[in-house]
Amino acid sequence: MSIYRISVTVKSMPQNMNSIKRNVPSAWYPTMDSFIAKGKNAEIWDKNNKRYLDFVGGYAVLNTGHLNPRVVKKVKNQLNDYSHSCFAFAPHENAVELCEQINKRYPIKEKTKTFLVNSGAEAVENAIKIAKYATGREKIIAFKGGFHGRTYLAMGLTGKEKPYKEGFGPFPKFISHIDFPYEYRNISDEKVLNQLENLLAKKINPKNVAAIVVEIQLGEGGYIPASESFLAKLRTITNKHKILLIFDEVQTGFGRTGEMFGASKVKVEPDMVTLAKGIGGGFPLAAVVGKAQIMDSVHDAGIGSTFGASPISCAAALGVLDVFDNDNLLDKVKKQETIMTKSLESMKNSFEFVGDVRGYGIMKGVEIVEDKKSKVPSKELASKIINNSKKNGLLLVNCGKEGNVIRFMGPLTTPLKQVKEAMEMFNGALEKI
């Protein structure tokens, strides 16, 4: 009997950013030039122990902040019992309780049901599957500038070509796009509604349109809010043609608009909605919520997910709801909004290159231009401002078709003192231009 001795070399953990270039695809290189080491509510520290105010928030995920105690407690309690169960085989109470809570809270008057998955893109994919199945119709209408995810159908729905769709086509031919209202760029509600009416009258038979998918406020497309009036008229058109209206609330959900859900903010009721990001307090989770008749239309096992409804993620999501219920979170958002609106509007009046400030609640977008008269987008200036902000200790990212919109995605739990600090840091970044 031979005995083989195997020598194993244990590699040390990555110590510098060069290890990223050696080990991950170049398309996935991160924006920050240092590793995150610690997070607490709205603050993070990197490996160099530099402290930042985190107004990226994991890309609008950390509505309840880094390591919220209520979320952490729920997760730890769940880890004492078991870590995973595929809900389609062995159900667990966390998932059922979460679905019940969402059904109670989302502002659709009819009875609703909820299907839990892993990510926003997966929620969007399943919403379209369900809509097509329930209606027996083929076509889907979405909006230019919209972002719905990076999986194939979600990319097809996404109305922003670069960098998300470039080189990955062709995409499904059953998807059509129309403009999204953009007051600052003279794309009026009326113009877009006329586009939709013309599309349905001349190019697509409305009897073959399953759904219209729309963000209440564009995310990647430039933090552009749709007006209550526009969404109400969109609802009227969909009702007229028996087309399902799907809200993508991946970013507007869970308090960021100042209401628990964006639908309450705009006072328009969809047939279905996709939720993600803030739902899980930093743990992967998403949901499709819809009228029960629609959700129940799909045949047995026609929808499903191995990791969707993760017991740990569902526990975290129940912790998120505890924060909303017990920590007066929406009141805090309104106070944050007051500070941010006043500060950013003042900056708009003070700096020639700040063209527009907009957004529901604390979903604030600041559009950077060469000057107010020309309105020429300036990604270069936006990037300099973001870099200046980082040097000041404030983390921000850009968005928009031209990459010239700076967006604020800080936790809803950010102390007001730190909100004011962030505004001062941002103003200081503008002054350096």
224 and 203, same structural domain? yes
For 335-366, how does the pLDDT look when each residue is reduced to its tens digit (9 = 90+)? Answer: 999 999 999 999 999 999 999 999 999 999 99
Domain endpoint, select from 301, 326, 351: 326
Q: Are residues 128 and 260 in the same domain?
A: yes
| CATH of residue 304 | 3.40.640.10
Whether residues 45 and 84 fall in one domain: no
Residue ending a domain, choose from 270, 303, 326: 326
Query: Domain end: 300, 326, 352, which one?
Result: 326
- Length of the chain as a residue count: 433
Q: What per-residue confidence (pLDDT) applies to 15?
A: 61
Same domain, 198 and 313: yes
pLDDT for 6 equals: 40
pLDDT in tens, 35-48: 999 999 999 999 99
394-395 vs 209-215, strand pairing mode: unpaired
Each residue of 295-350: pLDDT tens digit?
999 999 999 999 999 999 999 999 999 999 999 999 999 999 999 999 999 999 99
Residue 154: C-alpha distances to residues 105, 147, 172 (Å): 26, 8, 10
Domain check: are 96 and 235 in the same one? Answer: yes
| pLDDT at position 183 | 97
One domain, residues 389 and 302:
no
The domain total for the chain is: 2
Query: Is 8 within the bounds of a domain?
Result: no
Distance CA 289, CA 136 (A): 19
Q: Is residue 204 part of a domain?
A: yes
The range of the structural domain enclosing residue 153 comes to: 72-326
> Residues 347, 287: one domain?
no
**Residue 1, domain member (yes or no):** no
